[in-house]
């Protein structure tokens, strides 16, 4: 299927748009559509940031180091503006600034390739000597680390809570929200005519945006299919010593440790504990039916890293855990595009373990694409994925 000609809805005085999925991508898209003048209905099976969704759980990292991919740094910059705006409007403290510490056991080329872009776009980043790093962060054992970078403007966003705040802002501005499961309607004559709810109700709109995260492949098997592969990702919270401040954001930044596996962690931002997770892609997962208990092997791997890098926490108790999923695109880049066979259907997803921070900018890009036909960067379009060889070689490397 080729790309259809753009048919922007801007000609209509108040186009009706249905957004399916109130996770980070769908919630922000709905809010932007409303601000741009559309009449919007937002629909979700289980609600914003629900525990089956990829936007569920306590926190997400926002950082600007993106290797040589300038487009993401620009999106992070825009996203920061929009996060700040909604935090000011809602009064909800959705962001905790911590900085991000990049620990390299081998090459730090990824960070170095970002430095010029970061400086140009206003994200301060410092290279620390190992001695300086040891001095600043005595709770970290830097053995095996050859290079340390500190990104000063980085922090933790409250994930599930932010999705609720965005949905509330959407409703306060006149948007309509309902909890229901949607099945895409038939596509006839190059357009989708309606949506079907489980109870048989039908919803008609001028345009439909599907922001269904890890469910997108099942909803659109031909157009998306395994171009979005959900993988199981476990997140652990370990208890810190009584009265200790060393694991609070005031004393410890977010950290990323590039070893055989990439582990990252977030200091104790909400009193839930010291968060650690393995970024390695896990087993395939069904987001609807998966049992979300953490595995003994995953906990053991996290403990091993903690014993090596945060020795004081070697025997810390596991106090909480979350099992989430990445919704991986083949090359790790977002998917934001029109359905190639239906001119009034748009798809937004493929956050691939890094989409949350970008969601305000993703929503803006998607809303502008729907309402005014603004092109999205080729990097995010579906036709970049047509080459099978490209798909296979890129998937494991991110």
Ligand X SMILES: Cc1cc2nc3c(=O)[nH]c(=O)nc-3n(C[C@H](O)[C@H](O)[C@H](O)COP(=O)(O)OP(=O)(O)OC[C@H]3O[C@@H](n4cnc5c(N)ncnc54)[C@H](O)[C@@H]3O)c2cc1C
Q: Which of 101, 182, 224, 306 binds ligand X (CB under 6 A)?
A: 182
Per-residue binding letters, 283-322, with ligand X (x by CB under 6 A):
----------------------------------------
**In this structure, what token pair is assigned to residue 282?**
């896990």
Query: Measured from the CB atom, is 4 or 187 closer to ligand X?
Result: 187
Answer yes or no: are the C-beta atoms of 29 and 363 closer than 8 Å.
yes
3-state secondary structure of 355: coil
The answer to whether residue 24 forms part of the interface with ligand X (CB under 6 A) is: yes
CA–CA distance, 59 with 62 (Å, rounded to integer): 10
Minimum CB separation of residue 189 from ligand X in Å reads 23
**Helix ranges (DSSP H) in the chain:** 24-35, 70-90, 109-120, 130-136, 159-172, 216-219, 296-309, 359-372, 388-395
Stretch in the footprint of ligand X (CB under 6 A) among 1-9, 99-107, 126-134, 346-354:
346-354
Q: What are the distances in angstroms from CA 154 to CA 12, 95, 311?
A: 40, 10, 25
- In the region spanning residues 36 to 95, those forming contacts with ligand X, defined by CB under 6 A, are 43-46, 50, 53-55, 60-61
Nearest approach, Cβ of residue 319 and ligand X (Å): 17
Mark residues 144-163: x for contact with ligand X by CB under 6 A, - for none: --------------------
Q: How far is the CB of 298 from ligand X (least distance, A)?
A: 12
**Closest listed residue to residue 368, CA positions, set 386, 357, 356, 380:** 380
Which stretch, 66-74, 354-362, 365-373, 382-390, contacts ligand X (CB under 6 A)?
354-362
Give helix then strand counts, H and E, for the chain: 9, 22
Match 């998937």 to its residue by tokens: 395
What does the binding site for ligand X look like in residue numbers (CB under 6 A)?
Answer: 20-26, 43-46, 50, 53-55, 60-61, 181-182, 211-215, 219, 233, 235, 277, 324-326, 349, 351, 353-357
């Amino acid at each position: 299927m080729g790309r259809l000609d753009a048919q922007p809805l801007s000609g209509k005085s108040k186009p009706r748009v249905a957004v399916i999925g109130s996770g980070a991508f769908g919630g922000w898209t709905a809010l932007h559509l409303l601000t741009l003048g559309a009449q919007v209905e937002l629909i979700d099976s289980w609600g914003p940031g629900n525990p089956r969704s990829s936007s569920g759980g306590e926190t997400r990292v926002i950082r600007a180091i993106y290797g040589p991919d300038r487009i993401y740094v620009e999106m992070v910059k825009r996203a920061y503006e929009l996060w700040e705006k909604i935090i000011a409007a809602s009064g909800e403290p959705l962001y905790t600034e911590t900085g991000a510490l990049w620990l390299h056991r081998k090459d730090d080329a990824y960070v170095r390739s970002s430095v010029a872009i970061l400086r140009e776009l206003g994200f301060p980043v410092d290279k620390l000597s190992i001695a300086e790093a040891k001095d600043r962060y005595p709770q970290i054992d830097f053995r095996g680390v050859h290079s340390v970078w500190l990104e000063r403007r980085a922090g933790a966003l409250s994930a599930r809570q932010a999705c609720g705040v965005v949905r509330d802002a959407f409703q306060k501005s006149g948007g309509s929200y309902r909890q229901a499961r949607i099945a895409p309607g038939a596509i006839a004559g190059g357009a989708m005519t309606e949506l079907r709810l489980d109870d048989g109700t039908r919803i008609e709109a001028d345009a439909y945006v599907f922001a269904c995260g890890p469910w997108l492949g099942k909803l659109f098997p031909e157009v998306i299919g395994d171009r979005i592969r959900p993988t199981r990702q476990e997140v652990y919270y370990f208890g810190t010593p009584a009265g200790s401040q060393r694991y609070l954001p005031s004393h410890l930044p977010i950290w990323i440790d590039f070893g055989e596996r990439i582990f990252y962690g977030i200091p104790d931002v909400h009193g839930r504990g010291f968060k650690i997770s393995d970024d390695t892609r896990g087993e395939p997962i069904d987001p609807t039916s998966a049992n979300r208990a953490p595995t003994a092997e995953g906990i053991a791997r996290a403990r091993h890293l903690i014993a090596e890098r945060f020795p004081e926490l070697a025997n810390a108790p596991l106090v909480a855990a979350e099992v989430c999923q990445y919704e991986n695109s083949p090359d790790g880049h977002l998917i934001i595009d029109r359905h190639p066979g239906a001119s009034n259907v748009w798809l937004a997803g493929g956050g691939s373990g890094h989409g949350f921070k970008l969601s305000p900018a993703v929503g803006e890009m998607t809303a502008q694409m729907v309402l005014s036909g603004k092109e999205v960067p080729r990097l995010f379009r579906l036709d970049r994925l047509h080459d099978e060889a490209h798909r296979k070689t890129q998937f494991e490397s991110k």
